[in-house]
Structure 1
Amino acid sequence: MSDQTAVGGHAAARKGPFSSWRTDLPASIVVALVALPLCLGVALASGAPLFAGLIAGVVGGVVVGLLSKSPLSVSGPAAGLTAIVFTAIESLPSYETFLLAVVLAGIFQIGFSLTKGGVLAEFVPSSVITGMLAAIGLILILKQLPHAVGYDGDPEGSFTFWQRDGSNTLTVLFDILRDNIVWGAALIAAISLAFLFWWDKARPKEGPLRLLPGPLVVVAFGIGANTFFQAVMPELAVAPSHLVRVPISESPAAFFALFRLPEFASIGNGTVWTVALTVAIVASLESLLSVKAVDELDPERRVTDKNRELLAQGAGNLVSGLIGGIPVTSVIVRSSANVEAGAQSRLSTILHSIWLLLSIALIPFVLNLIPLSALAAVLIATGYKLAKPKLFTERWKQGMTQFIPFVATVVAILLTDLLIGIVIGILIGLAIVIWRSTADVITYVENGDAVMVRAKRNLYFIHKVQLQAAFERVPNDRTVLVDMSDAQYVDLDNVDIINTFVKGAPFRNLRVVIKSDPRGKVAELVDAPLSTARAT
């Protein structure tokens, strides 16, 4: 069997790992352009060295990309871990001590894979997964709008609603409307967005131009436009603080000095182990949820081996920690950009990291010319595709049992974070399941002197109220059929209610007949006198 399980065929897997290079190559460039500012931004928001974010981005693509069985998922530093990483770096003696925790977290994740922990992802409802995708899309739009108009108050890579200075995503947008618009940045973003949406429709189906990545054109345009502004219209030029900022090394020795090693002497520090376990659990959950979401986006509907994914993520964190990087997870933003760019295999994931490494090693001065507003346009376009209005209308048409968990997940993720929002969505979905399982389980019918109390399906403790209410409706002087033939299982709480009703029947001149599924145990458990109750 191929290492890529597919619904509806395994054509991509049969062709070989590099057969789709014509589409994977341009897709990898798009992902690298998206990943670059996010790697830097997540590192900044985490309180880690900027280069540590780039290390994690490279490791996430090469190491995880080689070991994972997910054809389209892209791994790297994740915004969902920024608060945990920031707190850990602050609480540990040094950044090198934190690197040791990252190494241990990777080992924990490898252990999770060996114990088949990947099965946890299968318990998340599809309505919650699509809610997560829509929420990420809305967050991208809301969080990138400030960068699109040249506002620096919201750090690149921050996805949290509440910021450390007390402001939030919405107040930042109001601040922008007052007096913080940089018109040069806004013009670059507006033209870039218009081009990206136009290119999606106008891209040729044949010829070399069909492989031209729209984001690459946008980045080139952004550099050219800002250079023009600086020379001709300085008042429109984008400030250096709103350009990509990659660390520049003066020599190869200085470049390699940016890598750091873990402080293994701190292995006995209890806080290190606590941080490691926390990072392992959160990173594993985020990766599993992201991979499951990417499987939903995959046009071929391939299904990723979740346990193998945990192994790949663990290896990625092990390597990242060993050379100075922050933790990695599978991340939905880069992954969705990968899908939208037309990638077909893991080659795109691997290549994007190679472009990252080569660019930061060889041409960091060129990267530092890219306006963040141009990259913001790329992310806003990606966010729109994740949160299209059509997605909301489709869930609405599927009914409230799908729409409510979907919307709850979207709102919860917007106001809290990814994991808390997912948990809230799951709990609301579970509450709906319980509500549906308790609704109309007991049927009550009167016909002359006869009464039927019937269970439509198995009875559990949550059905006690309905069963008790049905028995309380029975008038005196009746023949009562308690029909449990459709219930293969009735728990003892409900059996006790039946017993209580049967024992009190003689005092109300009731004749009770119990009808039980032959495979069930209801009749055998009823302990009323035989003259009153009879099993059929």
Structure 2
Amino acid sequence: MNTKSTFFQSIDLSNLQGDIRGGAISFLVAVPLCLGIALASGAPLFAGIIAGIVGGLVIGLVSRSAVSISGPEAGLIVVTLSAIQSLGSFPAFLLATCIAGLIQIGLGYARAGIVSNFFPSSVIKGMLAGIGIILIIKQLPHLVGYDADAAEGFALFQPGGFNIIEQLQMALGQFSGVAIMIALTSLAVFYLWEQPSFRQKAFARNVPAALVVVVLGISLNELVRVAFPPLVLRGNHLVQLPVPEGVQAFFQLFTFPDFSQWTNPLVYTSAVSIALVASLEALLAIEASDELDPIKRKTPANHELKAQGVGNIISGLIGGIPVTSVIVRSSVSINAGARTKLAALLHGTLLLVCVVTLPTLLNKIPWASLAAILLVTGYKLARIEVFKAIFAEGPSKFIPFVVTILAILLTDLLTGIGIGMATGIFFILHEHYQNTHRVKMDLDHGVKRIQVSLGEHVSFLSKAKLVKLLKSVPDNAIIEIDGSSSSYIDSDVISTIENFGVAARQRNIQVIFLPSSISDPTPVYTPKDLFNTYRRSDVKLNLHTTPVRG
């Protein structure tokens, strides 16, 4: 990958101010999200910061996207949490992350970037909505100040049964009025930022709501510390990043993969899950970022898979959680004026400087503030408008959407997507089966005439319905099979029509194939004749037939 030339070609100093503004604002959004996603993933908090730094600096340098920003993303929370729990060791998980990066690079060289085009949109939207619902559920205990183990060990179904009720019961028995106050204030800020009249103000356009939420959370808790010291949030109610005393101590915060786990099959299972989800998220986010790009530049999908793979290898090697392209940060950066990858590099640089110089300030952030941010993130993924829009598209879209959500909630992300894909494919095949041909029936001088118009693409899936139709043709009838609109007719379908044509003579059924320029006193033509007719008409068909038997 020629990153040097690509990097300098993407730089435009005439937009330096916009890139600085975009990188700075996306950094402010990233700080609480990196911490919150690490928390929800069951990973060390510092792992989220590492992933943000790698996403900004490493992927920002290697990627050919001008406006996308990478880092830890909400869509990876479930797969990360599941992998850490199944492996039972964070260093083993880091090894899986490195292997996932290698898989992504392999997918890039295999030109697998096109794969995202074949995922039904209903399944993708169902995946995002399912992730959103899980995010919402996981934050409920934090909103009332129960921060002991509400997020780290949560799964919708545990071996002991459905346990979110137990979590909430424990939370309500240990709730904190200050945490509730901070959470409600934070949610009010997000609500205010969504109001069209307020969003027009310069302050709302330039300052992200997530930053205001964090600052307010710290300020409110410090006011409580002064006015009502016994009620102040402390300990595990606040962010607890390690505070290094120097450069050497800072580097000691990094965790390294456990390479002794390379023979563990679960490591490779987790790696495949991470690679598939991270790759899909990246491809979708890149497509969305390109759509938001005012210059409408197109990011090469296969190269992006390689760039994301490099990022995940580096992140796994130094103790970070998986990374992918993040549409939230990218859109914030673009809206702030960013037009080149300088914004992504500044984003990563500011994260690095912040964690080295300001860890004490970060440790004043209440988890109630982060829970509000993640709650709103989950709501945006699973908002009611999404359900209404998919429902309006009909059962073939809505059912796979709902099945994907339920499957993710009841199993895990990868299994849920697989079940959703199977459901989506079923409806695609069903729709194809229903639209293989059109039939029109009338009487021609007292004789039943059946007109069959074949579809554009007549695959082997059309055979069953066509066989059923041909069996229903009565004796002494006329059947006209029109393939003039078909660009492809499968050989199995050709054989079916051919065999019917032979048997039709015994039942005095006239079989006519169109278009026909064959001068033959008998209106019974074989598919081979049809093929020759198309050839004479200079219409290209992919027909493979065998000679007529009999």
Question: Residue 68 of structure 2 contacts residue 325 of structure 2 at CA under 8 Å; is this kept in 1?
Answer: no
What residue in structure 2 maps to residue 533 of structure 1? none
SS at match of 1:151: coil
CA distance in structure 1 between the partners assigned to 2:202 and 2:491 by the alignment: 71
CA distance in structure 2 between the partners assigned to 1:432 and 1:187 by the alignment: 47
What residue in structure 1 maps to residue 506 of structure 2? 507
| Aligned-residue offset at 1:171 | 5.5
Question: Residue 150 of structure 2 contacts residue 167 of structure 2 at CA under 8 Å; is this kept in 1?
Answer: no
CA distance in structure 2 between the partners assigned to 1:18 and 1:489 by the alignment: 55
Question: Residue 188 of structure 1 contacts residue 222 of structure 1 at CA under 8 Å; is this kept in 2?
Answer: yes
In structure 2, relative to structure 1, the CA distance for the partners of 1:119 and 1:154 (3 Å cut) is farther
In structure 2, relative to structure 1, the CA distance for the partners of 1:329 and 1:257 (3 Å cut) is closer
In structure 2, relative to structure 1, the CA distance for the partners of 1:527 and 1:151 (3 Å cut) is same
What residue in structure 1 maps to residue 175 of structure 2? 181
- Aligned runs of 1:301-320 on 2, under 5 Å? 303-320=298-315
How many residues were matched structurally?
Answer: 504
| Aligned-residue offset at 1:207 | 5.0
CA distance in structure 1 between the partners assigned to 2:223 and 2:510 by the alignment: 95
- Aligned runs of 1:48-447 on 2, under 5 Å? 50-70=45-65, 71-76=67-72, 78-79=76-77, 80-88=79-87, 90=89, 95=91, 102-152=97-147, 154-156=149-151, 160-163=155-158, 166-169=161-164, 172-173=167-168, 176=171, 179-201=173-195, 203=198, 205=200, 210-234=205-229, 236-260=231-255, 271=263, 277-294=268-285, 295-296=287-288, 299-300=292-293, 303-322=298-317, 324-330=318-324, 332=326, 335-336=327-328, 338-340=330-332, 342-343=335-336, 344=338, 346-442=341-437, 443=439, 445-447=441-443
Q: In the TM superposition, what whole-angstrom CA distance separates every residue of 1:281-319 from its partner, at most 9, and x where no partner exists? A: 333322232223333375347653222222222222332
CA distance in structure 2 between the partners assigned to 1:305 and 1:362 by the alignment: 37
Q: In the TM superposition, what whole-angstrom CA distance separates every residue of 1:88-116 from its partner, at most 9, and x where no partner exists? A: 454xxx93x76555445434433332232
| Aligned-residue offset at 1:262 | 5.3
What runs of 5+ residues in structure 2 fail to find an aligned partner? Answer: 4-9, 515-529
Seq. identity, %: 34
| Aligned-residue offset at 1:246 | 0.6
| Aligned-residue offset at 1:37 | 3.0
SS at match of 1:150: coil
Q: Is 2:33 aligned against 1:37?
A: no
Moved more, 307-316 or 295-304: 295-304
| Aligned-residue offset at 1:226 | 1.7
| Aligned-residue offset at 1:432 | 1.6
What residue in structure 1 maps to residue 476 of structure 2? 477
CA distance in structure 1 between the partners assigned to 2:548 and 2:307 by the alignment: 58
SS at match of 2:368: helix
SS at match of 1:445: strand
| Aligned-residue offset at 1:35 | 1.2
| Aligned-residue offset at 1:174 | 5.9
Question: Residue 148 of structure 1 contacts residue 377 of structure 1 at CA under 8 Å; is this kept in 2?
Answer: yes
CA distance in structure 2 between the partners assigned to 1:60 and 1:521 by the alignment: 47
SS at match of 1:512: strand
Q: Aligned AA for 1:188?
A: I
What runs of 5+ residues in structure 1 fail to find an aligned partner? Answer: 4-10, 530-536
Question: Residue 141 of structure 1 contacts residue 383 of structure 1 at CA under 8 Å; is this kept in 2?
Answer: yes
In structure 2, relative to structure 1, the CA distance for the partners of 1:361 and 1:157 (3 Å cut) is farther
Backbone CA RMSD of aligned residues:
3.6
CA distance in structure 2 between the partners assigned to 1:207 and 1:477 by the alignment: 80
In structure 2, relative to structure 1, the CA distance for the partners of 1:477 and 1:199 (3 Å cut) is closer
| Aligned-residue offset at 1:452 | 2.2
Question: Residue 184 of structure 1 contacts residue 236 of structure 1 at CA under 8 Å; is this kept in 2?
Answer: yes
| Aligned-residue offset at 1:464 | 2.5
In structure 2, relative to structure 1, the CA distance for the partners of 1:299 and 1:142 (3 Å cut) is farther
SS at match of 2:488: coil
CA distance in structure 1 between the partners assigned to 2:158 and 2:12 by the alignment: 44
The TM-score normalised by the length of structure 2 is 0.79
Q: Aligned AA for 1:28?
A: F
In structure 2, relative to structure 1, the CA distance for the partners of 1:526 and 1:400 (3 Å cut) is farther
CA distance in structure 1 between the partners assigned to 2:52 and 2:464 by the alignment: 55
CA distance in structure 1 between the partners assigned to 2:202 and 2:495 by the alignment: 75
CA distance in structure 2 between the partners assigned to 1:129 and 1:340 by the alignment: 22
Moved more, 190-199 or 289-298: 289-298
Question: Residue 449 of structure 1 contacts residue 479 of structure 1 at CA under 8 Å; is this kept in 2?
Answer: yes
In structure 2, relative to structure 1, the CA distance for the partners of 1:506 and 1:37 (3 Å cut) is closer
In structure 2, relative to structure 1, the CA distance for the partners of 1:455 and 1:262 (3 Å cut) is same
SS at match of 2:441: strand
What residue in structure 2 maps to residue 7 of structure 1? none
| Aligned-residue offset at 1:155 | 4.3
In structure 2, relative to structure 1, the CA distance for the partners of 1:280 and 1:350 (3 Å cut) is farther
CA distance in structure 1 between the partners assigned to 2:325 and 2:413 by the alignment: 11
Question: Residue 38 of structure 1 contacts residue 156 of structure 1 at CA under 8 Å; is this kept in 2?
Answer: no
In structure 2, relative to structure 1, the CA distance for the partners of 1:465 and 1:174 (3 Å cut) is farther
Q: Aligned AA for 2:82?
A: A
The TM-score normalised by the length of structure 1 is 0.81
CA distance in structure 2 between the partners assigned to 1:502 and 1:527 by the alignment: 9
Q: Aligned AA for 2:263?
A: T
CA distance in structure 2 between the partners assigned to 1:494 and 1:204 by the alignment: 59
Q: In the TM superposition, what whole-angstrom CA distance separates every residue of 1:179-223 from its partner, at most 9, and x where no partner exists? A: 343222111110111122113435464656642232222212212
Q: In the TM superposition, what whole-angstrom CA distance separates every residue of 1:42-83 from its partner, at most 9, and x where no partner exists? A: 3xx25xx55444333322332122222342342237422232
Question: Residue 75 of structure 1 contacts residue 330 of structure 1 at CA under 8 Å; is this kept in 2?
Answer: yes
